[in-house]
Structure 1
Amino acid sequence: MLGAVETRSVSPVFVGRDDELEMLDQALARAGTGEPQTLLIAGEAGVGKTRLVEEFAGAAGRRGAVVALGGCVEIGADGLPFAPFSAALRALRRELPGELAAAAAGQEEELARLLPELGQARAGRHDEEGMARLFELTARLLERVAADRTVVVALEDLHWADASTRHLLAYLLRTLRTGRLVVLATYRSDDIHRRHPLRPLLAELDRLRTVRRLELRRFTRDEVARQIAGILAAEPDPDQVDDIFRRSDGNAFFVEELAVAAAEGGCAGLTDSLRDLLLVRVEGLPEPAQRVVRVVAEGGSRVEYRLLAAVARLAEDDLIEALRAAVNAGILTPTPDGDGYRFRHALVREAVADDLLPGERSRLNRRYAEALEADPTLVPADERATRLASYWYHAHDPAKALPAVLDASVEARARHAYSEQLRLLERAMELWDAAPQEVRATLRPVDHAEVYPPCGRDPQAAPLRYLDLMAEAAVAGRFCGERERALQITKRALRLLQDEGDSSPGSQPGPGSGDSHRAAWFWIQRSRLVQSLARGDGWRELATAQELMRGLPPSEVHAEVLANVANWSMLHAPGPDALSAAERAVEYARMVGAREIELNARLTLGGLTVDAGDVEAGLAEMREVIERALAEGVPQVAARAYVNLPSELESVGRSREAVPILEEGIAFTRRFGQVDSEAWVWGNLSDSLYSLGRWDEAARAAAQALSVGHSAKPQGTGAFKLAHISLSRGDVAAAARHLAAGRAHFGTHDPMPQQWIPEARVALGVAVGEGRFLDAREALVRALDAGFPPGTHRYAWPLLRAAATAEADARALPAAAPGRAGILERLTEAVRTTTTGAPVWDAHQQWARAELHRVTGRDTPDLWNEVVTAFERLERPYDLARVRYRLAAALLAAGDTDRERATELLRLAHAVASHLGARPLAEAVALLAQRARLPLARDPRPASADPADALGLTSRERDVLRLVAAGRTNRQIAEELFISPKTASVHVSNILAKLGVSGRGEAAAVAHRVGLVAEESGDRLVAG
């Protein structure tokens, strides 16, 4: 609008910063190889951060990179949620419209929370993973956009960043894995005082290997001289350089101001006051220009031209002339999009704003608010509610501010900016008493309180209550991680309900049943918060909520209480009471039409049904929940189902069936950004892969659970699984480290059987590995004292078997003799009474009994043969190898009558142990073979010998194996051999067990290797 203007104070010569530019260029080069780079650029106000970013951005653009700039926007003392990311994504959309659209395909509704141009943000219930889901999708979006081109994302002025922006930045820098991406972020180091909210983020980022920090120093005297020469377009007088260097202390911005003042003849009389230095050129402007500058200072870090025109109330020609004067003086500058104006440097804006009188500031904010109310199109749609709320709040008008702040909180919630929603709701609570009653009476919960629980009132007709704000704030605090604040709000709300009968400020007491519903709802929130803060297990709070609902008719709150009780019981105390609560939760949710609660309760009911022994009915219920959740678009329930259904399949030994569901679950949870659910899925996948003998994959899955998890518990689960794998491979030190990490993640305040039983098993194994047998026994005793509730047998059997094995291995140790009789009695009773109900746990029970017989030297080959037979029917190669080793040892102990079979058993066990890297088992097998003088290596045999005999295969199994190696399916094998597909499947399972392999591909490879199948056949191997 103003045309070309000159800014004399900015040097056309870029001074210094050679080392910093080199670091940035190196980062750009590394990013070009697909390794994301992050640099934090710190420096005091005015030292030249923005100029460095601009110079680098220009150079990167000339080298073919796409540059997207975004800055934190300050309005008064408030920051706009996600402002720098929205601006950067908007810039990417302008530069790469097709690429960004392709990268966002399928997730436009979610990503629209950051970039409204993508479409309408998805409506629906919010949840604890909402923000993490948005963050995950944003990270993957940037990775996809930067897959084939280098992208530079520059985020300026982090010291003004809102909490949601800080959280998103931290998430991105932790999780960006691939892409030709450079992330730059600038902040004022001199503003980061001890309690500044950016300080914890900086401390966290300093610990990341992928993040480097650049601290910009002040200029030297020579650099100041070069800067002044660039500004004046002439060589400066040395005395003048000395004077400016002394007074500026090398700060680039102060050098500019002093150089211009000197050129205009004003330097000599200028005081050393920072405020005077910053205001001297403002005070030299014509009065209309000064007035416009003051208006811009109070409007925020940038102000749109049309909004400025409405607030300044000048004739258009006068406004343009005033702006021209301010721009020519280097005070204001047009915004990059050409739509408005900002101060050339924020220090000047702060000085001008601080110079305003209190009444003047209130009046300007009122004029901004009135202008925006009269014409909402004056500012971008995604900023409108937040800016209007800020203007009215700083205008000190509670009647106008309260509705505006509440509207802004709804907008923040819709964008998953829960930190800002919480801040706005707390501001609304601050304004509540000051706002007139007639204003409060016009507010409705249906408009301003999404979490409003039905309490016998019509939300369309009833006025908003103070407790509605507290309910919304408590949930916002939980969602954004401000759990301590949320807990305090919840406690305060419960005190109001108890002490005042809901006679909160400005409200009337409600009906008794309504208050009971509301109190029960707050107790549910308190239970969740207590658990997440590791202050307890949350049961006392849930029990209080359940008692409040006793005798009341069905309602959504009642259904939610029952669903939470059932889920808590499933995790902590499964049994008939938990099953009953789940059934009632389903019934109540159906009666009141609470579909999401119903699906969650049905999922819990399905799991409890499996644990109760009705396996097929429970699994069928869980499968239907997944189908319904996917069909009805309830990703939160679907994500939980992808965790729980495979877990139940694993609990009954159906690991191969669980793996594809888990892989599907990983894709689903990643697509929808369900970060914690993804971590749980990775943990469960590690379990199933371990069972199937795919240990390298299992370790990678457990590591993923650790790195992906947002919350402590899934991370702790990943650590325990890594500890278990390390133990099996004989790395006791690594197992001990992972055990300690898992315990730290879980804490001690919320013990659950699915956590403490595996922990006890690993602790026992570590203690045995370190020679601390009595500590191992103590870990077992603690577990036996706690007991194994129904449904926890999947965790109990590995512990009982490990304990029995440890006692048998230590039978000759003198230190183990005291107390052995009592331990064996308790172990025997536990083995007798712990639930089986599935072939895998029947097999473990037989194994544990055999180990208990070994303690007293009463184990026999027949006993171990039954155990081996039981495991040959299962896909558990490591377990099968271990019991084969035990059978071989029993055969050898019984005499030399069956040395040939013992040899073959040891060979098979050693092959599996070597393949898995199970060093303790491999060494034990080798030692036993050495003592018995049995060869583990096979003797070369004549070409005419049949290798099937050495493998222990029957004639029919040999025929089946040849067809497996030829790539035939079970149905094709059945047709060719004139048997049923089921019989073919049994033969294949027996072959896998005898060979000690986990799949058809490995079996085919063995067949080729030993010459059972001719290599020249050219048949394709099919991995099963």
Structure 2
Amino acid sequence: MRLLERESSLASLAEYAAEARRGEGRLVLVAGEAGVGKSALVERFQRDLPDARWSWGACDGLFTPRPLGPLFDLADQLGGGLLDLCRAGAGREELFRGLLREVREPGVLDAVVIEDVHWADEATLDLLRFLGRRLRDASMLLIVTYRDDGLAAADPLRVALGDLASQRPTRRIALSPLSVDAVRALAGGSESQASTLHRMTGGNPFYVSEVVRAGAGEVPGSARDAVLARAARLGGEARDVLDVAALTGTKVEVRLLESVTRCPASAVDELLACGLVVGDGGSLRFRHEIARLAVQGAVAAHRGRAIHGLVLAALGSLGCDDDARMAFHAEAAGDAAAVLRHAPAAARRAAWLASHREAAAQFRRALQFADAADAATLAALYEGLSDEAALLDRWQEAADACEHALTRWREAGDRRREGDVLRRLSRIRWNLCGGGEVAAAEAAVAVLEPLGPGVELAWAYATFANQRMLHADHDAAIGLALRAQEIAERLGAGDVLSDVLNTQAVCAGIQGGEWSGQLRRALEIALSGRHQDQVGRAFANLSSLHSTERRFDEAERYLSEGIAYCDEHDLTSYSTCLRSEWSTVMERTGRWEESMRLNAEILTMAGRSPANRLCTLRRLGAIMARRGDSGVWEHLDEAAVSADRTGEPQQIVPVRLTRAEAYWLEGRAGAAVREAELAADACADLDAWDRGSVAAWLRRTGSARTAPGEYAEPYRLEVDGDPIKAARVWTELSCPYDAALALAGVSEEPALREALGILTGLGAAPAARIVRQALRGLGVRSLPAGPRSATREHPFGLTRREREVLALVCAQHTNAEIAAKLFISVKTVGHHVSAILAKLGVPSRDVAAAQTIRLGLADVEI
């Protein structure tokens, strides 16, 4: 079948290949609906580029995939050190680096194709992220094909594509259906026949070719009918082989078919001649997945079950070590013993390779066949599912599985495992914000202490320490952490050691001590030991503590590194947590539009934890209150209920202060005071920043109370009566809104005018209204109305300040020069530039300037 209307796509591939040959690697995303000709395009391009070294891998949609299946396909073709690593069961990082080494041979253009990534497991998506970040200086053309029809908004592939699109080496090719003219060229016939065929097939090249190949006198109702019409012409033995192949996978080994069907070679030859499958080395491959599905759907259920049983037995006799594949056929054959043998093994392998979705799916598969299993077997399966669900941010599923595991370990009489599950349950309950986490941690220690020191007891102490820290009992937390540390160091348990160092560092930070060195050590231990969960926790606390101290550059560095790590290792829970913290940084630095967009994203994420939701609701409520938007209390009321349910000061205080601010902005003084005083009731054991924030809002709302303890510098200056100096410190820290609030407390016109300028630039209408009232109280009558309406009218929603910064960017000024001209800090300029790029949807300052000048928008006078 000819390849029509693909000249521009082939030309683009040739261009990208030339760039890759020069050492500028390219990742090409080839998208289109099923049957549109993605594989045909790449196969044709392979013929056009014969001097490249080609290797192919594919994702199979038939069963829960073996993690990194495409990488293992590539290893078989590339050989060398990569194949050795695969055979040795190496971890994903070694496998990723091994592949990169194999395709960096000097003087060779490597063309690597990975097909059908809409079926990819998590580890394969992470491989693409890994390669996308490292292709820039490699002579490698990585071509990835996928279906773009029917992708859900939260589909992991869609998230991965968003990450890949931001990488400089990435290019896109979108394939469209054929025109009527192309259909006529393929099918021949009259204009009316071509129009009818185009209408029935939607111009899909596969559907058109199937109709033409079937030789039907009229257009069949579906491509399925066309495929089955061709299959019906096969002899009995060839059709048997075709059915077995369809139930086995898109690609199937000839020797496996021979083992299952005992067919003569002539049957395979007849099958190849019919055109539904093609030869691929020692295997047969369906020409398209649509064809395989059509044949599979025509196999009777009872016959399919028997075929799966034969395939399972044949794979076993051939020494198949792919537990995911074996588990699929075992399930389809109804072989419970085989499912319980292979599915847990497949789950453990998937977890080792950080394909946590696949690991969870395998544990679920095993549990469907475990009704007759003993209590210990069931408990282990539920425990495994709970761990994987927790990493995927599916906390209710994790809780349900953990409760089942607890019941089964108790039935089995295994006290050690019972205690270990209790400490897992403690963490899960915390994420669900439903209470009971401290009781579970205490119970774990009570069960395990009589059994003597072991890694389970170390984990129980570590978990209990974390819960005490979260409830602001820092001395108890440190004592428990030290007990866990002693056991962990003696047993060489790096994951426990990282966890307790992390807890001790956070306690030190809250109490005003040195924390960064200890927390960096926790991260290093977790990274070197490949303790993914602890890496995520270390990145989360490193970014959070730096953000708390308003050291935003350091916070954003750890956020960037942490999100990349968590995305690459499918740590959904920590990835969401880090994005949540980044939105806090944006809120604090005045990048409210960016923060709102990110918070809205977090709220729509499937499986988000209530803990992440609580923080997100608070931030959304805060920004909406500051902008005077509707819907504030819907967010803040839910946040208050959730925060109070946790009983944790670190959750209660920020929510109560946000509510105090929202009431203050609405002019509801009594309610504002009550909320500020509720925050004061809970803040005694928090850090100087939280206590200072409470003190500032007690003062601002007119409460007679004071917050206990010492305050961070800008809050201390404001409470001590030097708001102008406090505002300068806030400005140096890149916190414009806090600077404006400090100045708003001054009874002098210059300070109030400066506050008004900052607030109007941020779009903080309610606070700006309060400052205008104060100015009018001083007798000032000539006041600017503010640029809020201008912000709304700007085609990209830029504030007045952002337009000023953009005008200077267009004039080729550096951040330092812009800061000097506008009398703001260099950090603040950087935040404004980031917000501008996000609103304009451009990758760089140069592109922003060019677009602004082209559209005639660089018209702000400075």
- TM-score normalised by length of structure 2: 0.67
Matches within 5 A, 1:648-727: 648=545, 655=550, 659-660=553-554, 663=557, 666-667=560-561, 670=564, 673=568, 695=589, 711=608, 713=611, 717=615
Matched, 1:155 2:49: no
Instruction: Classify the secondary structure of the residue corresponding to 1:145.
Output: coil
Quick one: distance in 2 between partners of 1:586 and 1:331? 62
Give the structure 1 partner of residue 480 of structure 2.
581
Contact residue 659 and residue 689 of structure 1 kept, 8 A? no
Quick one: distance in 2 between partners of 1:61 and 1:479? 44
Give the structure 1 partner of residue 60 of structure 2.
73
The structural deviation recorded for 1:158 is 8.4
Quick one: distance in 2 between partners of 1:67 and 1:735? 56
Quick one: distance in 2 between partners of 1:137 and 1:56? 20
Matched, 1:324 2:280: no
Matches within 5 A, 1:79-98: 79-81=64-66, 86=71
Instruction: Classify the secondary structure of the residue corresponding to 2:37.
Output: helix
Quick one: distance in 2 between partners of 1:749 and 1:738? 17
Q: Structure 1, residues 356-380: CA drift from partner, whole Å, max 9, x if none?
A: 5667545544443344334447xxx
Quick one: distance in 2 between partners of 1:168 and 1:752? 36
Q: 1:705 to 1:139 in 2, by over 3 A?
A: farther
Contact residue 390 and residue 398 of structure 2 kept, 8 A? yes
Matched, 1:54 2:40: yes
Q: 1:721 to 1:490 in 2, by over 3 A?
A: closer
The structural deviation recorded for 1:567 is 1.4
Matched, 1:835 2:709: yes
Contact residue 39 and residue 184 of structure 1 kept, 8 A? yes
Matched, 1:640 2:552: no
The structural deviation recorded for 1:475 is 1.6
Give the structure 1 partner of residue 654 of structure 2.
758
Matched, 1:295 2:244: yes
Contact residue 584 and residue 619 of structure 2 kept, 8 A? yes
Matched, 1:561 2:473: no
Quick one: distance in 1 between partners of 2:739 and 2:227? 80
Q: 1:354 to 1:759 in 2, by over 3 A?
A: closer
The structural deviation recorded for 1:300 is 1.9
Give the structure 2 partner of residue 771 of structure 1.
667
Contact residue 652 and residue 682 of structure 2 kept, 8 A? no
The structural deviation recorded for 1:790 is 0.9
The structural deviation recorded for 1:79 is 3.9
Contact residue 330 and residue 338 of structure 2 kept, 8 A? yes
Quick one: distance in 1 between partners of 2:733 and 2:190? 83
Q: 1:756 to 1:138 in 2, by over 3 A?
A: farther
Instruction: Classify the secondary structure of the residue corresponding to 1:835.
Output: coil
Quick one: distance in 2 between partners of 1:42 and 1:744? 46
Q: Structure 1, residues 309-328: CA drift from partner, whole Å, max 9, x if none?
A: 444435xxx41x33332222
Quick one: distance in 2 between partners of 1:428 and 1:697? 47
Quick one: distance in 1 between partners of 2:521 and 2:349? 35
Contact residue 301 and residue 342 of structure 1 kept, 8 A? yes
Give the structure 1 partner of residue 697 of structure 2.
802
Instruction: Classify the secondary structure of the residue corresponding to 1:465.
Output: helix
Give the structure 1 partner of residue 715 of structure 2.
844
Contact residue 520 and residue 557 of structure 1 kept, 8 A? yes
Q: 1:182 to 1:744 in 2, by over 3 A?
A: farther
Give the structure 1 partner of residue 493 of structure 2.
594
The structural deviation recorded for 1:645 is 5.1
Matches within 5 A, 1:945-964: none
Matched, 1:167 2:156: yes
The structural deviation recorded for 1:303 is 0.8
Quick one: distance in 2 between partners of 1:36 and 1:748? 48
Contact residue 488 and residue 496 of structure 2 kept, 8 A? yes
Contact residue 884 and residue 909 of structure 1 kept, 8 A? yes
Contact residue 465 and residue 503 of structure 2 kept, 8 A? yes
Q: 1:54 to 1:535 in 2, by over 3 A?
A: farther
Quick one: distance in 2 between partners of 1:547 and 1:248? 67
Matched, 1:780 2:692: no
Matches within 5 A, 1:187-226: none
Contact residue 563 and residue 581 of structure 1 kept, 8 A? yes
Instruction: Classify the secondary structure of the residue corresponding to 2:683.
Output: coil
Q: Which of 406, 412, 418 is 1:519 aligned to? A: 418
Aligned residue identity for 2:683: F
Contact residue 100 and residue 131 of structure 2 kept, 8 A? no
Aligned residue identity for 1:406: P
Instruction: Classify the secondary structure of the residue corresponding to 1:733.
Output: coil
Larger radius of gyration: 1
Instruction: Classify the secondary structure of the residue corresponding to 1:153.
Output: strand
Quick one: distance in 1 between partners of 2:743 and 2:196? 89
Matched, 1:307 2:204: no
Q: Structure 1, residues 527-574: CA drift from partner, whole Å, max 9, x if none?
A: 343444454463443344344346442332222222222212322343
Matched, 1:493 2:401: no
Give the structure 1 partner of residue 118 of structure 2.
none
Q: 1:141 to 1:778 in 2, by over 3 A?
A: farther
Quick one: distance in 2 between partners of 1:800 and 1:262? 83
Quick one: distance in 2 between partners of 1:247 and 1:680? 48
Task: Calculate percent identity across the aligned residue pairs.
Answer: 19
Contact residue 535 and residue 749 of structure 1 kept, 8 A? yes
Contact residue 562 and residue 584 of structure 1 kept, 8 A? yes
Give the structure 1 partner of residue 327 of structure 2.
389
Quick one: distance in 1 between partners of 2:587 and 2:220? 74
Give the structure 1 partner of residue 807 of structure 2.
none
Range moving further from structure 2, 912-921 or 599-608:
912-921
Q: 1:280 to 1:538 in 2, by over 3 A?
A: same
Instruction: Classify the secondary structure of the residue corresponding to 2:685.
Output: coil
Contact residue 554 and residue 592 of structure 1 kept, 8 A? no
Contact residue 298 and residue 353 of structure 1 kept, 8 A? yes
Aligned residue identity for 1:473: L
Matches within 5 A, 1:125-140: 138-139=128-129
Contact residue 343 and residue 363 of structure 2 kept, 8 A? yes
Give the structure 2 partner of residue 145 of structure 1.
135
Quick one: distance in 2 between partners of 1:611 and 1:299? 58
Quick one: distance in 1 between partners of 2:248 and 2:203? 31
Range moving further from structure 2, 559-568 or 51-60:
51-60
Give the structure 2 partner of residue 427 of structure 1.
365
Q: Structure 1, residues 245-266: CA drift from partner, whole Å, max 9, x if none?
A: 9999999767766655658xxx
The structural deviation recorded for 1:624 is 4.7
Contact residue 622 and residue 645 of structure 1 kept, 8 A? yes
Give the structure 2 partner of residue 538 of structure 1.
437
Quick one: distance in 2 between partners of 1:734 and 1:61? 60
Give the structure 1 partner of residue 92 of structure 2.
110
Aligned residue identity for 1:342: R
Matched, 1:471 2:365: no
Range moving further from structure 2, 552-561 or 145-154:
145-154
Aligned residue identity for 1:416: A
Instruction: Classify the secondary structure of the residue corresponding to 1:154.
Output: strand
Contact residue 554 and residue 591 of structure 1 kept, 8 A? no
Q: Structure 1, residues 193-248: CA drift from partner, whole Å, max 9, x if none?
A: xxxxxxxxxxxxxxxxxxxxx7x69x98x98765542xxxxx5799x999999999
- TM-score normalised by length of structure 1: 0.58
Contact residue 910 and residue 921 of structure 1 kept, 8 A? yes
Q: Structure 1, residues 292-317: CA drift from partner, whole Å, max 9, x if none?
A: 32332332222123433444435xxx
Range moving further from structure 2, 410-419 or 60-69:
60-69
Aligned residue identity for 2:685: P
Give the structure 1 partner of residue 353 of structure 2.
415
The structural deviation recorded for 1:281 is 3.9
Q: 1:179 to 1:602 in 2, by over 3 A?
A: closer
Give the structure 1 partner of residue 233 of structure 2.
284
Give the structure 1 partner of residue 857 of structure 2.
none
Q: Structure 1, residues 684-704: CA drift from partner, whole Å, max 9, x if none?
A: 67878998xxx4679868977
The structural deviation recorded for 1:60 is 12
The structural deviation recorded for 1:471 is 1.5
Q: Structure 1, residues 725-776: CA drift from partner, whole Å, max 9, x if none?
A: 787xx64439959966994997875464333322322332232223333442
